[in-house]
Amino acid sequence: MTPLTKSIVIKLIMRNYALLKIILAPIACVLIILSTQFGIEYYPLSFGLVIGFINWNNHKYGLLIGIILSLLASYISFFIAYFSVYLLFEVFKLFLGQDNGGVAALMVSSFILSPLLVFFLYKFVFNYSLTKIAKYIIFTSILILIIVFNFSDWQYFKFLKNTRLDHYTIWQIVMALAIQLLIHQKVIWKKQKLE
């Protein structure tokens, strides 16, 4: 095997390994939620553990500290979003009324603030750059979450709710996929596209 061929084979293996890890994280999150009867308060636990374990070799500070930081990042974003609903509700109800203020507060805290916190906090856990591709990933994931939230009354989403794929399960799928894409962006995309 020539050095050039060996280099190409290694690059293909690394790319396929990264793609497997990218796909595995959202699938693991969904399987944990669907196979257990845990309440929403355990969602950050499963999310933090899945992201922490699947990316065992991408932590900034080693495996054990990386998993602990992953759990902390997950729970911090969860609790800040959870408690901000009440604060945002008080602000939004002044302008939008009681019902619309509650909906707007839930959407902003759970589907805008929480994802932004996850992206910000996981930057301390993993090495990923805030490139042009990363900004697209962040924007697209938040846009998808907002669309899912706003169109959850459609018949298709009502079917998903009956199978325990609610807003927050879909949140985990989208966010796990987005975090994985951010972590493995250098392996997937060429360097020219990242800048």
pLDDT, one tens digit per residue, over 121-174 is 999 999 888 889 999 999 999 999 998 888 766 555 555 555 556 778 889 999
* Pairwise CA distance, residues 137 & 117, whole Å: 15
Is the pLDDT at 20 greater than 60? The verdict is yes
- The pLDDT assigned to 76 comes to 96
One-letter identity of residue 51: I
One-letter identity of residue 120: F
- 191 class by beta-carbon count within 10 Å (0-12 exposed, 13-18 middle, 19+ buried): exposed
Helix (H) or strand (E) holding 18: helix 3-35
- The pLDDT assigned to 116 comes to 96
Query: Do the beta carbons of residue 100 and residue 91 sit within 8 Å?
Result: no
pLDDT level of residue 58 (50, 70, 90 thresholds): confident
* Ramachandran region, residue 64 (left: φ > 0; alpha: ψ -120 to 50; beta: rest): alpha
Which among 64, 59, 43 is positioned nearest to 122, based on CA atoms? 59
pLDDT level of residue 4 (50, 70, 90 thresholds): low
Is the pLDDT at 73 greater than 80? The verdict is yes
